[in-house]
Amino acid sequence: METTHVHAHHNDREMADHSSINEVVIDLEAREAPWEIGEGKRVTGWTYNGQVPGPTIEAKVGDTLVVRLKNSLPEATTIHWHGVRLPAAMDGTQVVQRAVAPGESFEYRFTVLDAGTFWYHSHTNETVQMERGLYGALVVRGADEPVVDAERVLMLDDVTLGSRGDFAKFSGVMQRHNGREGDVCVVNGHADSEVTIAAGQVERWRIVNAASARYVLLSFGGRPFRVIGTSGGLLEAPITMSEVLIVPGDRVDIVIGPFDEGPTFPMQALAYNRHAGRRHLERFATVHVGAARPSLANIPRRLRTIDALVPSDATPTRRVRMGERLSLRNGMDFLINDEVHHNDKPVTVGELQVWEIANTSHMDHPFHLHGFFFQVISENGVATAHRAWKDTINVPPKSSIVIAWMPDDRPGNWMYHCHILEHHAAGMMANFAVVRPGDDASMVPAVGHCHV
């Protein structure tokens, strides 16, 4: 299972003030291409540069990414940089840019400020475009990452194949309700993947859940591993676990090994009851432990310090309710504060946000905030045990979590939504503006809706 790395031009540019900025220049062409999922499973994918996932983009903190998107698909598209703290205009949603029409190009340009495992994906007609393969990973490295013997990016996804060797058609009300869970699980675009790790070595696996709706309760047949990072970069200290939940849109960085030579074990998603869809075990890949090799790995006990934004009993400044309502036309509508495609109040730069996110529906929803990291400070009134930066968090039914985040000086239109793509499309999303003190929200260009 190889991940393909992008051929980027790294330009060290001398600036007028003699500091240098490093540009990472990438051309991404969105186009149809054959996608070889496995034995006898070949479909026409929608790809970046002919591959699924798209090329892994690698950068260092402080680099400027220049991504030239050319759209050769039969329909309009945009790229969202999931988790990246970029300027609003580069966020890739239809509230900040006109979708890039077939034959057109668009240049995304932004500086990456944070180390972590991020990803990019289409933010137009996502239930179709992401299902067909329009996603890839973005890895940003900091100055002092833990030392490992090898590193991998593993993008998890699932697809539903029809009988004639292509994608099954979207099947209406049930898929809108539950979210689409495919019957073929893939890692980096391939079913039945095999991974070999050398005995004695320690690897870092950056795991991305790119599936539309599938919850991945990741397990290696009960073998322990160390979680070192979340969607917002490194934790304060590694946490040893034997299973970890990765909801759609989210990422987890783990350190795995060392193992003794010989065993073969599954990389699997254990049954998880999200109160919708399937709930049985699925195998994503098979891991083999090969011949021993020396290890140079060094995983410090302290990875970094994360200061708490607020005390765990801080009073919420805003309530966000994720709900549902029966609909004659659609079966079910998915809501934010009782509305489909909600327009939420603006937030002001520099004013600390404490949001209570309540799930009044009967199923789990993965809440995702664009452009800003948050800290989860409590879940159902219980303070969160481990401090972490995140951009996606699961909210189980009939429960509420409190998050805190700080709008830094990046005014413009942003959004939050459920990352089950069918729920986002069915209305469980909101637009809101970040405004500078003294400016009023009406100065931000009008926000449109994101309809699918």
List residues near ligand C2O by CB under 6 A.
Answer: 80, 82, 121, 123, 249, 368, 370, 417, 419
Residue 323 binds which entry of ligand C2O, Cu ion, none, CB below 5-8 Å type-dependent: none
Query: Could you give the residue ranges of the DSSP H alpha helices within 158-258?
Result: 173-178
Task: Give the integer Cα–Cα distance in Å for 440 and 348.
Answer: 9
Q: Smaller CB distance to ligand C2O: residue 179 or 257?
A: 179
- Binding pattern to Cu ion, positions 338-377, x when CB under 5 A? ---------------------------x------------
129 near 94, Cβ under 8 Å?
Answer: no
Phi, psi angle pair for 169, to nearest 5°: -70, 150
Task: Give the integer Cα–Cα distance in Å for 154 and 135.
Answer: 12
362 near 334, Cβ under 8 Å?
Answer: no
Q: Smaller CB distance to ligand C2O: residue 204 or 417?
A: 417
Long-range contacts of 339-343 (CB under 8 A, 24+ apart): 339/427, 340/426, 340/427, 340/428, 341/427, 341/429, 341/430, 341/431, 341/449, 341/450, 341/451, 342/429, 342/430, 342/431, 343/430, 343/431, 343/432, 343/447
Contacts of 51 (CB under 8 A, 6+ apart): 4, 33, 189
Task: Give the integer Cα–Cα distance in Å for 209 and 232.
Answer: 15
Q: Smaller CB distance to ligand C2O: residue 43 or 134?
A: 134
Residue 420 binds which entry of Cu ion, ligand C2O, none, CB below 5-8 Å type-dependent: Cu ion
268 near 280, Cβ under 8 Å?
Answer: no
Contacts of 18 (CB under 8 A, 6+ apart): none
Other C-beta atoms closer than 10 Å to the C-beta of 244 total: 16
Q: Smaller CB distance to ligand C2O: residue 217 or 369?
A: 369
Contacts of 356 (CB under 8 A, 6+ apart): 316, 318, 319, 320, 400, 401, 402
Residue 80 binds which entry of Cu ion, ligand C2O, none, CB below 5-8 Å type-dependent: ligand C2O
| Size of the residue set binding Cu ion (CB under 5 A) | 5
Residue 82 binds which entry of Cu ion, ligand C2O, none, CB below 5-8 Å type-dependent: ligand C2O
Least separation, in Å, of the C-beta of 210 and ligand C2O?
9
Q: What is the CA radius of gyration of the chain?
A: 21
Q: Which of 88, 217, 420, 433 binds Cu ion (CB under 5 A)?
A: 420
Residue 85 binds which entry of Cu ion, ligand C2O, none, CB below 5-8 Å type-dependent: none
Q: Which of 418, 425, 426, 430 binds Cu ion (CB under 5 A)?
A: 418
Q: Smaller CB distance to ligand C2O: residue 133 or 257?
A: 133
Q: Smaller CB distance to ligand C2O: residue 80 or 180?
A: 80
Amino acid, res. 280: H
Give the residue nearest to ligand C2O (CB): 82
Least separation, in Å, of the C-beta of 80 and ligand C2O?
5
Residue 274 binds which entry of ligand C2O, Cu ion, none, CB below 5-8 Å type-dependent: none
Tell me if 423 contacts Cu ion by CB under 5 A: yes
User: Where does 112-172 show beta strands of DSSP type E?
Assistant: 116-122, 135-141, 150-159
Least separation, in Å, of the C-beta of 352 and ligand C2O?
23
Least separation, in Å, of the C-beta of 285 and Cu ion?
26
Q: Smaller CB distance to Cu ion: residue 235 or 418?
A: 418
Residue 423 binds which entry of ligand C2O, Cu ion, none, CB below 5-8 Å type-dependent: Cu ion
Question: Dihedral of the CA atoms 253, 257, 262, 266 (nearest 10)?
Answer: -30
Residue 278 binds which entry of ligand C2O, Cu ion, none, CB below 5-8 Å type-dependent: none
Q: Smaller CB distance to Cu ion: residue 435 or 450?
A: 450
Amino acid, res. 250: D
Q: Smaller CB distance to ligand C2O: residue 177 or 370?
A: 370
Other C-beta atoms closer than 10 Å to the C-beta of 236 total: 14
Task: Give the integer Cα–Cα distance in Å for 173 and 83.
Answer: 30
Least separation, in Å, of the C-beta of 449 and Cu ion?
9
Least separation, in Å, of the C-beta of 178 and Cu ion?
9
Residue 418 binds which entry of ligand C2O, Cu ion, none, CB below 5-8 Å type-dependent: Cu ion
By CB under 5 A, name the binding residues for Cu ion: 365, 418, 420, 423, 450
